[in-house]
């Protein structure tokens, strides 16, 4: 399946094995990277829920909170908790996580009767999309490094083995 012209494509460096994602052909090691060929992958397409849970550590509850803020405009923890029926501490925890991502803006507002309250306002959809995309690309970079480390560890373990025993057991013990 070939991506359409406006979809990001996956590229790989023939020299170092680095991976790039984008609409335009990136360069690595002084050469243009080669587009990877789409194959029938053994990996299934992730659902939005799986993607959010895996990459952003976002639960279904947090997604509910996020969507309610996106829909409801400026809200306090108390108002949102009442609206969606979750405990205030759960809502506050999820809102703070969403604020870390930059999906919602957290501001302190002084109350006329004294004290203060935090209000949460959604960022525009294009800002949310870009923030999540940036975090996703960071996650890909880290995941790729993990795969590179696995390969390196496997090769080093086999090379260092001074036995006729199978070395795959090294990875089962970790």
For the chain, list the domains and their CATH numbers: 1-38 (no CATH), 48-124 (1.10.10.10)
Mean pLDDT for back-to-back runs of 10 residues, the chain (174 residues): 62 81 82 79 80 83 87 90 93 93 91 92 88 84 78 65 58 50
| pLDDT at 63 (0 to 100) | 86
| pLDDT at 105 (0 to 100) | 94
| pLDDT at 1 (0 to 100) | 47
| pLDDT at 52 (0 to 100) | 81
Q: Which sign, positive or negative, has the C-alpha torsion 43, 134, 7, 10?
A: negative
CB 74 within 8 A of CB 121: yes
């Amino acid at each position: 399946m070939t991506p359409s012209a406006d979809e990001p494509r996956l590229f790989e460096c023939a020299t170092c094995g680095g991976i790039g994602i984008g609409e335009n052909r990136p360069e690595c090691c002084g050469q243009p990277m080669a587009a990877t060929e789409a194959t029938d992958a053994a990996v299934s397409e992730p659902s939005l829920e799986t993607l959010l849970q895996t990459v952003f550590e976002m639960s279904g509850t947090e997604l509910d909170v996020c969507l309610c803020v996106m829909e409801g405009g400026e809200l306090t923890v108390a108002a949102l908790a009442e609206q969606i029926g979750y405990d205030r501490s759960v809502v506050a925890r999820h809102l703070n996580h969403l604020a870390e991502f930059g999906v919602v803006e957290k501001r302190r507002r002084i109350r006329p009767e004294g004290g203060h309250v935090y209000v949460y306002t959604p960022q525009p959809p294009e800002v949310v999309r870009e923030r999540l995309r940036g975090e996703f690309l960071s996650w890909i970079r880290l995941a790729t490094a993990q795969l590179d480390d696995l390969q390196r560890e496997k090769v080093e373990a086999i090379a260092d083995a001074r036995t006729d025993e199978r070395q795959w057991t090294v990875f089962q013990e970790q």
